[in-house]
Structure 1
Amino acid sequence: MKAASDHTPVLWTPGDWNAFFGFGTNILVNLLVLTGLLQFVLKMPSDIVFGRILPALGLMMFLSTSYYAWLAYSLAKRTGRSDVCALPSGISVPHMFVVTFVIMLPIASATGDPIKGWEAGLVWVFFQSFILMLGGFIAPFIRKVTPRAALLGTLAGVSIAFISMRPALEIFMTPAIGLVCLAIILVSWLGGVRYPRGIPAGLVAVAFGIVISWLTSAFGLGIGDMKLSNVVSAFANFGFSLPVPAVDHVFSGFQYLGIILVTAIPFGIYDLVEAMDNVESAEAAGDHFPTTRVLTADGVVSLIGCLLGNPFINAVYIGHPGWKSMGGRIGYSAATGVMVLLLCWLGIVSLLLAIIPIVAISPILLYIGMLIGAQAFQTTPATHAPAIVLALTPHLAAWAKTLIDGTLTAAGTSASQVGLDKLSNVGVLYHGLEVLGGGAILSGLILGAICVFIIERQFAQAAAFALAAAVLTYFGLMHGESIGVGNGLGVTPTLVVAYGLMALFLFALGRTSFVLSTERPPATPELEPAE
């Protein structure tokens, strides 16, 4: 009988096809959105988009996915297991929008030069990369002291608010394509239905979406909106482009350092916590990966991409349990990296942007969001369910605020101009959304941890997390839109005091033997029957 160390893992399994297509289309959606932001929002020249940014991004993703495939191979070889699934990774989606709208667009608009915006984005990633590399050494300790329900609960909040909702809305805006594609995916990935010749469900869904969209566009039925002229113009971006150093552009962006650090530090911490959450998610699914190596790898590959001209950071993705449940193992990760490398180096992304309707891919993202939200409840004790719900709330607040801000901006106004009192009178508690949603991933983690420790009657640990919340809130890392100390009393001083009082109360409770009840309340309180 072979020892575990003598086991040679299989690099590709039939399930890798499903995971490759599902994960690959997920990455493809992000590439299409990212390219659209660069071209149509930032007005970036095509030679920069397809000749500098995408080639650097492609190399970054190839390095990242190859490294995580190697980590999975090493784990499978060491343990003798055949069910190890590689961590998914790619462009950080929240950061993609933040660096575009908060960093690059304002600077490009102020200077009238999109290249200046690009350079500022490179500096943003430069600092984020070092925060990740340094943070990797404290992440294992944070994972050790933080309850799983808190880590997975705040991750579920991200999945519901920022992964599931937009695809769900897109599906119901074009239901003739979206709902049918959703059904095609769900009957296979949840219902176990196999399509003829083992064709991946994701491929069937996207093929159906392409056919219906183009047919309805051809007959003017209004369901699809695909144009042949877009396909023809996309061929202009074909070519072979290798990444070249962009160190001079990185240093040019340092003139905007003051603006950049305001968001780079808190979002670097966001990356740190999100990566920990996703590693915890993988461990809950049975695959243990070293947190320090994961975070360091994210930082290193992001730095390489940045120095070659890519202003978008790499991140371990949410969704490992989803790809594993599809049968993904090792090969799907490396294959996705090769696919992205070819798409970016050959300029094929613009052609795909013109051929594939986004709504055909939306159900795949919704499915991943569903699994991550479910995992938080399935892999934690039932008694911790209230803590998971509490950890969700900051993300729902952040999502609602994002929609409100976008709506008001489109109308040429803002919440302050409309008036918070007027918004409150119609049920929109804007200030509450602003405070609760600020630093949502940290807020969700801390609130979830406090709740878990209260449920377990470990009041000293709950007090420690409440005290940590006071410190983080003082510096604006929780419940704040920017870091700092305000006028010396903290960014949101009332909340700092409130968390401090909560910590004192919980600490005092932990030091006394006085207990109101010796019985725990039931996980699900029974309701009195209606008369």
Structure 2
Amino acid sequence: MGAIFGLKGFKRGDLDGFFGLFIDNLLQLMLIAVLCRGVCGFPDELLVGRILPGAGLSILFGNLFYAWQARRLMARTGRDDVTALPYGINTVSLFAFVFLVMGPVYRETGDVQLTWRVGLFACLFNALMEIAGAFCGDWLRRHTPRAALLSTLAGIALGFIAMGFVFQLFAAPALGLVPMMLILTSYGSGLRPPSGLPGGLAAMVLGSGLAWAGRWLGWLDFQPMADTPALGFYPPLPVPGDALALLASPQGWSYLAVIVPMGLFNLIGSLQNLESAEAAGDRYETRPSLLANGLGSLVAALFGSTFPTTIYIGHPGWKAMGARAAYSALNGWVIALLCMIGAYAWLLKLVPLEAALGILLWIGIVITAQAFQAVPPAHALAVSLGLVPALAAWGLWLVETALRAAGSSLYAAAPKFGQDLYIHGLIALSQGFMFTSMVLAAVLAHLAERDFLKAAVWTFAAAGLSWFGLIHAYTLTPSGVANHFGFGAAPAFAYGYALSGGVLLGFHWRYRGAIPEYKL
């Protein structure tokens, strides 16, 4: 039976890995539920009856594939310590599709059906980009320094995962501090808690007990989630007509300036996660991994979900927990079940979120540490430089969130910023930050090796990316920061990078053959 459901060879570490990945996936579902109602106007019958079942099916599809892939690698190598690639909905894509694609359509038209169809079109186009990228991703992976691939992940892990959730945890220390310390103690020492339970499960049990006991005794202001959908059975139903409805309409194509960068974002992110898995000891083939990635997003679009799925950040963390292949399959089945019966919110009604956030903090710091540990010592500077654009993107998210909470917007407040915060520099650095992180880290990695020619090639690539708007280009609108995608989109950056490339070529010609090749 375990082999049929992908749970063959279930280990105790799989339970730890499951809870970590499950909580992360569950948070994405809650964000979808909250944002789609508030920003896109989606009613529960669409959200619970179409979008979430489609998302659950796509997550199940990917998790089962990557569990099978891990078992196949085990059989081929004779190892029993292979960890499956994690898989789920990317937070950055989720926000982009809600605020920059579907949200504007709903504000302009008030048409829920049209808004949903635009989201399906965006998800479908993203899937096709991921599938196409499977045929060139291996080349890019071979010609990119590891520091360039891992530094961006470290920046995302440090900002959007570790720091983002640790704020929430320290805002409710009575609920979250003890479970966090239990997780750090268990995983940091490599020893299980005295109860014998996996660290993640023990933390959730302890945190839940503290929350409900404190509420009962009147010591804690723990308020269980009140907004829960009705339980029922909501099977995923194919909606190819809705997914394909806008192929011949300009409505969907008008958002390519958002869709194309997000497709590239997911593709590059998947490559970085594959490199992160290899650095942790598990080398997966690029093409089948990316093909399954794209097919999962295709399943999402064709079954009603407006959110693409992708290879997830966190493999080294799950591996450090002892997770193998079955954790992925178990996560897929549980997430799919919760989506198809409308029970995704009920778990958070019983278990306070703060009890599980320590798992995400652990994942964030493990990935950040790996970026430095898995590269040659001379490339540590390159990793540090590659962190900067990702942290800028996180900083911009903090600024925008604070302004919205104050009843303002970045569009209204930007002219008021002075030299205390160079807001336009922050925005420019955050736009296309994954590409910028890769470029800057790759340039410095090659400079550490005194390979000025390769460093120049990466700098000229940055000039091209700037010229077409894939990095640094933006338009500030009342809805937020929008990509400025087109010919001559960020000319100042393009010229700057091109001139910098010329300087590097000068170094190459001046010192060619004059200095010994750097040995790592």
Q: TM-score, normalised by structure 2?
A: 0.92
1:350-429 to structure 2, matched below 5 A, reads 350-420=345-415, 422-425=416-419, 427-429=420-422
Within the candidate set 93, 111, 114, 1:113 is matched to 111
Is the 1:116–1:253 Cα contact (8 Å) retained in structure 2? no
Offset of residue 192 of structure 1: 2.3
Q: Using a 3 Å threshold, how does the CA distance of structure 1 residues 17 and 405 change in structure 2: closer, same or farther?
A: closer
More displaced 10-residue stretch of structure 1: 135-144 or 406-415: 406-415
Q: What residue in structure 2 maps to residue 152 of structure 1?
A: 150
Indicate the RMSD between aligned Cα atoms, in angstroms: 2.2
Cα 1:343–1:418, aligned 2, differ >3 Å: closer, same or farther?
Answer: closer
Return the match for 2:458 from 451, 460, 465: 465
Q: Distance in 2 between matches of 1:441 and 1:32?
A: 25
Deviations 1:163-185 (A, max 9, x none): 11211100111111121111010
CA contact (8 A) 1:122 1:253 kept: no
Cα pair distance change 1:357/1:367, threshold 3 Å = same
Deviation at 1:253, TM superposition (A): 4.5
The letter for the 2-side match of 1:401 is L
Residue 240 of structure 2, aligned match among 244, 247, 254: 247
Mapping of 1:437-448 within 5 angstroms? 437-448=430-441
1:56 matched to which residue of 2? 54
Counterparts of 1:91-490 in structure 2, within 5 Å, are: 91-196=89-194, 198-226=196-224, 230=226, 234=228, 237-254=230-247, 255=249, 256-420=251-415, 422-425=416-419, 427-481=420-474, 482-485=483-486, 490=488
Shift of 1:107: 1.4
Cα deviations by residue, 1:74-130 (Å, 9 ceiling, x for unpaired): 111111111111101011121111111111222122222333322211111010001
Q: AA paired with 2:288?
A: R
Q: Partner letter of residue 269 of structure 1? A: L
1:491 counterpart SS class: coil
Secondary structure (helix, strand or coil) at the match of 1:202 reads helix
How many angstroms does 1:382 deviate by?
Answer: 1.5
Question: SS of 2:313's equivalent?
Answer: coil
Query: Aligned residues: percent identity?
Result: 37
Alpha-carbon shift at residue 30 of structure 1 (Å): 2.1
By how many angstroms is 1:310 displaced?
0.6
Q: Deviations over 1:47-74 (max 9, x none)?
A: 2122111111111111100000111111
Retained in 2: the 8 A contact 1:108–1:115? no
**Contact 2:138 2:287 (C-alpha < 8 Å) held by counterparts:** yes
CA distance in 1, matches of 2:408, 2:345: 34
Indicate how the Cα distance of structure 1 residues 310 and 417 shifts in structure 2: closer, same or farther if over 3 A, else same: closer
Q: What CA deviation, in whole Å up to 9, does each residue of 1:196-241 have, x standing for no partner? A: 45311111211222223333344554541226xx3xx73x521112
SS of the residue aligned with 1:484? coil
Q: Deviations over 1:433-491 (max 9, x none)?
A: 01111100000001100000011100110011001111111111111232433xx5x11
Gaps of 5+ in 1: 1-8, 524-531
CA distance in 2, matches of 1:363, 1:30: 17
Check conservation: 1:266, 1:483, Cα contact below 8 A: no
Measured in 1, the distance between the counterparts of 2:15 and 2:397 equals: 36
**Unaligned 5+ runs, structure 2:** 1-6, 475-482
Counterpart code for 2:471 = M
Amino acid at match of 2:485: G
**Does the Cα contact within 8 Å between 2:234 and 2:340 map onto a contact in 1?**
yes
Partner AA of 1:46 in structure 2:
D
| SS of alignment partner, residue 190 of structure 1 | helix
One-letter amino acid matched to 1:313: P
The answer (yes or no) to whether the contact 2:13–2:198 under 8 Å persists in 1 is no
Residues 91 and 314, structure 1, Cα contact 8 Å, conserved in 2? yes
Question: Does the CA-based 8 Å contact 1:212-1:224 persist in structure 2?
Answer: no
- State the alpha-carbon separation in 1 of the partners of residues 410 and 123 from structure 2: 30
Does the Cα contact within 8 Å between 2:88 and 2:311 map onto a contact in 1?
A: yes
Distance 2:13 2:408 in 1: 50
SS of aligned partner of 1:315: strand
Indicate if the aligned counterparts of 1:18 and 1:201 stay in contact, CA closer than 8 A: yes
Letter in 1 for 2:363: I
Residues 96 and 484 of structure 1: is their aligned pair in 2 closer, same or farther, counting only changes over 3 Å? closer
Once the two structures are TM-superposed, the CA of residue 513 in structure 1 deviates from its matched residue by: 2.8
- Equivalent residue letter for 1:54: L
The one-letter code sitting in structure 2 at the alignment partner of 1:407 is A
In the aligned structure 1, how far is the partner of 2:293 from the partner of 2:516?
47
> What is the deviation of 1:375?
0.3
8 Å CA contact 2:41–2:106 kept in 1: the answer is no
Q: Distance in 1 between matches of 2:423 and 2:514?
A: 37
After superposition, what is the alpha-carbon deviation per residue over 1:484-521, rounded to whole angstroms, capped at 9, x for unaligned?
33xx5x11111101110111111221122379988989
Q: CA deviation at 1:394?
A: 0.6
In structure 1, distance between residues paired with 2:491 and 2:291: 34
Tell whether 2:68 aligns with 1:73: no
8 A Cα contact 1:37 1:100, kept in partner: yes
**1:409, CA displacement in angstroms?**
3.3
- Tell me if structure 1 keeps the 8 A contact 2:12–2:198: no
Aligned position for 1:25: 23
What is the deviation of 1:321? 0.9
